Every structure is written in structure tokens, then in C-alpha cells.
Structure 1
Amino acid sequence: MNRRDAIARVGLILGGTVIGSEVFLSGCAKKSEVAATGTTFTPETISFLDEVGETILPTTAASPGAKESKIGEFMKTIVSDCYEEKDQKIFMEGIGKLNAAAEKKFANGFMDLSATERHDLLVDVDKEAKDYAAAKKEEDPAHYFTMVKQLTLWGYFTSEVGSTKALRFLPVPGKYDGCYPYKKGDRAWAAT
């Protein structure tokens, strides 16, 4: 084989790889659009999720809260692109149930509650979710608040804000030290 034929074949192979990846990525995007049918995240919904996330992980003197990590946008992306349709439906219905629980307990929507009222409401809903999980069968769907809480923790601690300000962060780690001294109250290390 001469040099021209070799270069042409390598170009064909590399071109096929790039085209193949485009088809794969396009196929993935179409799948997520189909899965997201009926799931609409309005700016109000994202703001609602930011406030729920902030109630779960509030801002403290030591670290910013979930709202600063744009947790509502994170939830929108994961629910729209990764959740199956049945889980998307449970999640979206859960937003309505959370607001209804706020109306029932405090005669106000979640967004109109004080920080203490929001906290008290989420403690009650979290207890309900734990009771549901304890009695649930394997084929039963997850509780909506369990989804919200898991997404809040995942999104926050993998965000730049969470991993650099709430966790200890070392961008270029040193050697492994299995006996590193730990003092009670130290922050956990960020996984990079």
C-alpha cells in the first residue's frame, strides 16, 4: 500500500468515527426529547425547586446553600434528560403535592411560607417519604420527595459551589495517606 492510500483510509476511518459519534449523540438527544414529553419546567417551577433545595441545604456562615448552585436548573436537566416518563410524572405531580401540603398545613403556597414554615413542612414530608419507603414494595414507584432530596444532594455536592466551598477541595491532590488525621467537625473531601 502506498502512502496516499494509507492516508485516505485513515481519513475514512477517522471521518467515520466522527460521523458515528454525531449519530450516537443525535440519537440520544431525540430519545430525551421523547422521554420529556409532558414535562415542562417553567421559570416559576425552577424557582420553586431552588427554594425547596435551599430549604434542604440552606446557606450557612461556612458555606452557600443549594440555591447558589442553581439546583433548580440541575433538577430540570436530570428529570428531563435522564428520568423515565413514569418518574418524570411522579416528580412533576410531587411539586403540586408539595404546594398542596403547604396550603393544607399553613393556608399558603410553599413560596409564600417563612423559612421556619418551609423547614417544618419539609420535615413532615420527609417523614412521610421515609414511612412510604419502609412499606413500599419493589415494584412501587419512588416517593416524589425522595427524588427531590436525592437530586438536591447530588446536584449541590457535585457543583462547583458545593465541592469547593462546602467540601474540602484540593485541585491537585498529593500522595495517598490512609492515616490522615481527622478532627471532629472537619469537612469531607470533594471527589474530583
Structure 2
Amino acid sequence: MIDRRTALAGVVAMFGAGLFAPIARAAGVAQSAGVPVISEGPPSAAVFSTAQRALMTALSERVIPTTDTPGAIAAGVPAYIEKLLADWSSPTERVPILAGLDAIEARSEQDYKVAAAKAKPDQQDALLTLAMNGELPSGKVFFEAFRQMVITGYYTSEIGMTQEREYLPVPGEYDGAFPYSKVNKVYSA
């Protein structure tokens, strides 16, 4: 079975030059002085307040929701994001994430009179769209980094590699005339 670090190296090609620095560091493509080697287990320090953690968890599920396959929460993406920010990022790299979560929270309170983590899914989608379009303070920077962390966390998790995609260590013989209509899942190796 492929491990998370090997999968992270594959994600680097997906995002190219615009890769969020802590993801690049975790994948081993960027070296940074002062950032310790990541350890197993929980984050070395809490990055989010309780409200920010709840919002980050809810928004992760909006980026990759549960459908016929498990979503971001089931894949452990929120814990991955906090671990990545705690152990692989500098305090300045956390600023846009924390500022973005705070801006989304403030806009939710203003527009919907409810905490963003408790907003309806369509309201959370609207808040993420505002961030994506740069209509919130720090929105674009937050959205791009957050989206990368969610996608990377999901597709390097066991669920992402084995349930969303189909793991075949040896995919079989080549068939150049295989009908596209019979393709069920994208394969990961």
C-alpha cells in the first residue's frame, strides 16, 4: 500500500508552483530552516480555537462532501490540517488561514445571524464562494491554501486512496480499445 508521504509527493505535481508551503515541506520538495520533522500523533500545539476548529471541519466537508464515498471528515482531513499547520508551517503561514476563518465567521454572523459552523450547507457554500472570489478580507489567499490542504489531506488518506480511488498495485494488462463507458473509478498506484 502507498504511504501518505509518497502520495504527498504525487500531489505536488497537481498544484505545481502555487503549492501551499507547508504541503511542499511535508512532501519533502521544499526545505525550511526551523521547521521540525513531522512526528506521528496529534499536533504539537493547538492551532485553532474551538470555534475555528468547528468551522474548519464544517468547511472541509463542504469542499469534499460525503456522497457515495466518505467525505473529508471521515477521511480525517480536519486533524490532518491542524497537524500540518502545527508541525509544518511557520506562524506567518498560519495567518491567512486563521484570518480567513475569522472573516467567514464574521460574514456568517452578519448575513445569517448564526455561527458559520452551524450555518446551512448552502450558506456555507456561499461563504466559501465569497472567499474564493476575494469578497472577504484575506479570502482568496485563505481559499486557495485551504482547498489545497483539504484535497491533499483527502487524497493522501486511506479513504481517499482506497475508497474514492481504486488501489491496484498491478493494474493489469493494457487494452487500448477499452470502452470509456466501462471505466468505474480512477486508479491510484
Shorter-chain TM range is 0.5 to 0.7
* Match of residue 124, structure 2, among 89, 95, 118: 118
Match of 1:173 in 2: 170
Say whether 1:92 aligns with 2:98. Answer: yes
Q: Deviation of residue 185 (structure 1)?
A: 7.2
Distance 1:116 1:67 in 2: 18
Alignment of 1:122-161 (within 5 A): 122-128=128-134, 143-161=141-159
Shift of the alpha carbon at 1:180?
7.0
2:47 corresponds to 1:45: no
Could you say which residue in structure 2 is the equivalent of 1:11? none
C-alpha change, 1:68 and 1:89, in structure 2 (3 Å) is same
Which aligned runs of 4 or more in structure 1 are off by greater than 4 angstroms? Answer: 36-39
2:187 maps to what in 1? Answer: 189
Matched residue count: 149
From the superposition, tell whether residues 31 and 105 of structure 1 become closer, same or farther in structure 2 (CA, over 3 Å).
same
Q: Aligned-pair distance for 1:45?
A: 3.4
Take 1:156 and 1:38, find their aligned partners in 2: how far apart are those partners?
22
- Assess if the C-alpha contact under 8 Å between 1:48 and 1:72 holds in 2: no
1:56 corresponding residue in structure 2: 63
Q: Deviations over 1:38-79 (max 9, x none)?
A: 96334543332221110111111x211111112111001111
Q: TM-score, normalised by structure 2?
A: 0.65
Alpha-carbon distance change, 38 to 59 in structure 1, aligned in 2, over 3 angstroms: closer
- Tell me which residue corresponds to 2:71: 65
Taking the aligned partners of 2:145 and 2:76, their CA distance within structure 1 comes to 17
Distance 2:36 2:46 in 1: 11
Give the Cα–Cα distance (whole angstroms) in 2 for the partners of residues 114 and 149 of structure 1: 20
Structure with the bigger percentage of helix: 1
Deviation at 1:31, TM superposition (A): 3.7
TM-score, length basis structure 1 = 0.64
Determine helix, strand or coil for the equivalent of 2:70.
coil
Percent identity between matched residues is: 17
| Unmatched runs of 5 consecutive residues or more in structure 1 | 1-27, 134-141
- The offset of 1:184, in angstroms, is 8.0
TM-fit CA distance, 1:37: 10
Aligned equivalent of 1:25: none
**AA partner of residue 98 (structure 1):** I
The change in CA–CA distance for 1:166 and 1:81 in structure 2 (over 3 A counts) is same
How much has 1:96 moved relative to structure 2? Answer: 0.8
The structure having more radius of gyration, on CA atoms, is 1
Amino acid paired to 1:144: F
> More relative contact order in 1 or in 2 (CA 8 Å, sep 6+)?
2
1:105-125 CA-partner distances (Å, limit 9, x unpaired): 222221121112112222222
Gap change, CA 1:173 and 1:43, over 3 Å in 2? farther
